[in-house]
Amino acid sequence: MKPQFLFAYWFRYLGWGLVIAHIPIAMLGRMNGMINPLDNLPGNTSLFTGEHLFFIGTTLLMSLGLFFVAFAREKIEDEQIWHIRLDCLRAAIFINYLVLIISLVFVNDTAHILELNLWAPLIFFIIRFRWVIFRLNRSLSREK
């Protein structure tokens, strides 16, 4: 993976900020319902109801944050990091498809499967990539 296709290092912090901001917003929105009373009028067949717009907004917030975290450069971006990044991306896609197949077989609610499939590859990638980098740094510090 060439580093020119990655975001700057500071995008990681912006991404974590968006992910952390998503959590209380989504929780408050689900507790309050975030439904516009005008949405329930008879004959209102608009696709852009208050609940739908809230779902789109919070989903975009979380997705953009995870995307920034996953594809931000490291401080030192070398060939070893590229190989680790590629290996972790491959493992994340394998795990995602395994979870997707299992959830398609055992779960009836397709809306939650869509949301899971939107975020899961990035979450699996971030977790695995950070874990491999952590182990690599720990092994290098032990050698010194």
Domain residue ranges in the chain: 1-75, 78-144
Q: What is the pTM of this model?
A: 0.78
> Quick one: pLDDT band at residue 38, thresholds 50, 70, 90?
very low
Q: Give me the count of residues in the chain.
A: 144
pLDDT score of 132: 95
pLDDT band for 47, please (50, 70, 90 cuts): low
The answer to whether residue 44 scores a pLDDT higher than 70 is: no
Which pLDDT value is given to residue 96? Answer: 92
List pLDDT tens digits, range 100-114.
888 888 888 777 787
